[in-house]
Amino acid sequence: MSEIELRSAGPILEMRNISKTFGKLRALRNVQFSVAQGEIHALMGENGAGKSTLMKILAGAIRPDAGSEISIGGTLVAMTGPMAAKALGVAVIYQELSLSPNLSVAENIYLGRELRGKGLAAGWLDRAAMIEGSADVLRRLGASFTADAKVCDLTLAERQLVEIARAVHSNSKILIMDEPTTTLSERETERLFTIIRALRDEGLAIVYISHRMEEIYELSDRVTVLRDGTYVGTLETHAISPSAIVQMMVGRDISTFYKKNHDAHNLRGKPILSVKGMSDARRVKGCSLELHENEVLGIAGLVGAGRTELARLIYGADKASAGSVAVDGVVKRIATPLDAIRAGILYLTEDRKELGLFLDMSICNNINVGVASRDARMGGLLNFRRSRERSAQAIKDLNIKVSSPKGLVGALSGGNQQKVLLSRLLELNPRVLILDEPTRGVDIGAKSEIYRLIDNLAQRGIGVIVISSELPELIGICDRVLVMREGCIAGELGGPSNAAINQNNIAAILTAASECDVPEHRHTHYSNLESRAS
């Protein structure tokens, strides 16, 4: 596993029969993936399709099951760990950057491979040589900062460039980029693409992971699609089209996958929830919305648009600087989540492991922790019989697969964990349910069950708000969709008086270059929208 023949024929990276099992969960099943030198190869799939698992295997972060084969430059290799992967020329640019912010750019680029002085200075760091070496790479990448700058003084885009510089500098042959543009502005994205193309032309193999279709068309030479941990196929340049990719990713007719049996006839009726001018003086700027009985309202937007922040403000999880929340026409003072729960508003967090579940507690306790004080006997004693009944009922209703309600919730799969968290909220009889990325990290079977559940809840009269980054999901289950951009509600689709909910209309609002509108002018914005749609 020493030197890689740089100009070898055939793909530089070939992964065959890759399988990975976590406990009972099969994350990957006989997946194949190959990348040629000088190619940008997009890896696509829904959340939970196995993209990150595959890339972690390639980066040596996890080990595949026996029988999996990885060859680099035509030689079969063993990815025994991250160091081995690095030595083989595999570099990963993670979503969360892995730089040391307190060190300089040069020190970060040389991290782990520091240059040492010679002669009398042996053992000392040779800073000057490191800065010189880094400056070379930075010049090649067209960086606007110097090698002695502190990383903490750089913007996110610049930090990303440092990561790329580190990878280039260590002679990486294969560069993995996991959603590199989520935190970048449009201009920064353009610059990044220029750099990526330049690196490709220099002969690097680039694996590009992104959820944004436009980027895939613009950038990639080939596309490989995974679904439910299996390899679906690889599209050559000429075959890449939106419909082909979506078809491969979802793998079935979308119309039967999403359920919409509830009748949102109350869209013009009195709202059960009305939020006015909600702001936090940082990420959310004067958002207003109304939610009706029997309605599923979607909130679309890019990461960082302020969707989660808005939900947390409504729920009282964060402090609002302005704005009001009314339930059934009555303004409620909501300063804490408990106030919101008492007002009938419940919120499903997007981060169920950190902010939702108690992983060391039983499934039963996780379901009952919210409702326990309502069920309590004699002012504070736990009502075990009631909680057993509740958890048994919830496990049955939501089809949660558990060996025993007394088992630890941390041992469940993502989909079942999500159902446990959902049932905790449902036990509290919500009027309004705010679901933040309800199907993130959930397998496709549980996904459709959650869609059916949302549909059911809407049928029962509950108002549901769904925040999601997956547009097909929003289009499939929502009656109305609000689109957020830069902390404002930039447009509305669906419902009686708006343009239809579809990918193009959402994308149009997302990419509209105009600055945020102040809430008072929302109506003019709608008319803009309609004229655009017509």
Partner 1 sequence: MNASTGNALQDALKKHQLNFMPLIQTMGMLPVLLILCILFQLVTGYAETADFSHAWQSGRFLSWQNLSIIAQQASINTVLGAGMTFVILTGGIDLSVGSILAASAMVAVSISLVPGASFLAFPAALAGGLVLGLCNGGLIAFLRLPPFIVTLGSMTAVRGLARLLGNDTTVFNPDLPFAFIGNGSIFNIPWLVVIAFATVVISWAVLRRTVLGLHIYAVGGSPDAARLSGIRVPLVLLFVYGVSGLLSGLGGAMSAARLYAANGLQLGQSYELDAIAAVILGGTSFVGGVGSIWGTLIGALIISVLTNGLVLTGVSDIWQFIIKGFVIIGAVALDRYRLRGSART
Residue 368, both tokens: 């009952």
Q: Which stretch binds partner 1 (CB under 8 A): 51-59, 182-190, 201-209, 357-365?
A: 357-365
Residues 213-252 as x/- pattern, contact with partner 1 by CB under 8 A? ----------------------------------------
Residue with Cβ nearer partner 1 (135 or 359): 359
- The nearer residue to partner 1, 200 or 419, going by C-beta atoms, is 419
| Contacts with partner 1, 96-135, as mask; x by CB under 8 A | ----------------------------------------
Give the nearest distance from C-beta 334 to partner 1 in angstroms.
Answer: 12
Nearer to partner 1, 47 or 362 (CB): 362
Phi, psi of 532 (to 5 degrees): -70, -35
Binding letters toward partner 1, positions 14-53, x by CB under 8 A:
----------------------------------------
Which residue among 48, 89, 356, 405 contacts partner 1 (CB under 8 A)?
356
Q: What is the dihedral of CA 122, 84, 77, 59, to 10 degrees?
A: -140
Distance CA 395, CA 403 (A): 11
CB of 157 to partner 1, least distance (A): 30
Given 109, 138, 341, 453, the residue binding partner 1 (CB under 8 A): 341
Q: What residues numbered 447-486 form the site for partner 1, per CB under 8 A?
A: none
125 three-state secondary structure: strand
Nearest-5° angle of CA 413, CA 417, CA 422? 150
Q: Are 30 and 19 in contact (CB under 8 A)?
A: yes
Collapse the DSSP code of 223 into the 3-class scheme (helix H, G, I; strand E, B; otherwise coil) and give the result: strand
- What is the pairing mode between strands 271-279 and 432-436? unpaired
Whether 257 contacts 476, CB under 8 Å:
yes
Residue 360 in contact with partner 1, rule: CB under 8 A: yes
- Number of amino acids touching partner 1 (CB under 8 A): 35
Return the structure tokens found at 185: 């502005």
Q: How far is CA 323 from CA 263, 310, 335, 338, 441, in A?
A: 30, 11, 12, 18, 32
349 binds partner 1 (CB under 8 A): yes
From 272, 398, 437, select the one nearest 344 (Cα to Cα). 272
Cβ closest to partner 1, residue 1 vs residue 361: 361
Closest CB to partner 1 among residues 126, 339: 339
Q: Which residues pair with 435 in a beta bridge?
A: 348, 466
What is d(CA 341, CA 345) in angstroms, rounded to the nearest whole number?
5
Q: Which is nearer to partner 1, 270 or 319 (CB)?
A: 319
Taking residues 61 to 100 in sequence order and writing x for each that binds partner 1 by CB under 8 A, - otherwise, the string is: ----xxx---------------------------------
Tell which one of 33, 110, 315, 451 touches partner 1 (CB under 8 A). Answer: 315
SS3 275: strand
Nearer to partner 1 by Cβ, of 18 and 99: the residue is 18
Closest approach of partner 1 to the CB of residue 456, in Å: 23
Task: Please give the Cα distance from 519 to 92 (Å, whole number).
Answer: 42
Which residues in 305-375 belong to E strands, given as ranges? 322-327, 330-332, 345-348
Interacting residues with partner 1 between 366 and 405 (CB under 8 A): 368-370, 372-373, 376, 380-382
From CA 533, how far away is CA 240, in angstroms rounded? 26
Segment contacting partner 1 by CB under 8 A, of 33-41, 107-115, 349-357, 489-497: 349-357
- If binding is defined by CB under 8 A, does position 358 make contact with partner 1? yes
CB atoms near residue 116 (< 10 Å)? 11
Tokens of 296: 């599923």
Among 33, 110, 258, 347, binds partner 1 (CB under 8 A): 347
407-426 binders of partner 1 (CB under 8 A): 408-411, 424
Q: How many CB atoms lie within 10 A of CB 366?
A: 25
Ramachandran area for residue 85 (φ above 0: left; ψ -120 to 50: alpha; else beta): alpha
CA angle, residues 119, 122, 125, in degrees to nearest 5: 130
Q: Smallest distance from the beta carbon of 188 to partner 1, in angstroms? A: 31
CB of 418 to partner 1, least distance (A): 14
Taking CB under 8 A as the rule, does residue 338 contact partner 1? yes
Q: Please identify which residue in 108, 279, 365, 505 interacts with partner 1, judged by CB under 8 A.
A: 365
Burial class of residue 123 in the structure, from the number of CB atoms within 10 Å of its CB (0-12 exposed, 13-18 middle, 19+ buried): exposed
Shortest Cβ distance from residue 178 to partner 1 (Å)?
Answer: 20
Footprint of partner 1 (CB under 8 A): 65-67, 315, 317, 336-338, 341, 347, 349, 354-361, 365, 368-370, 372-373, 376, 380-382, 408-411, 424, 428
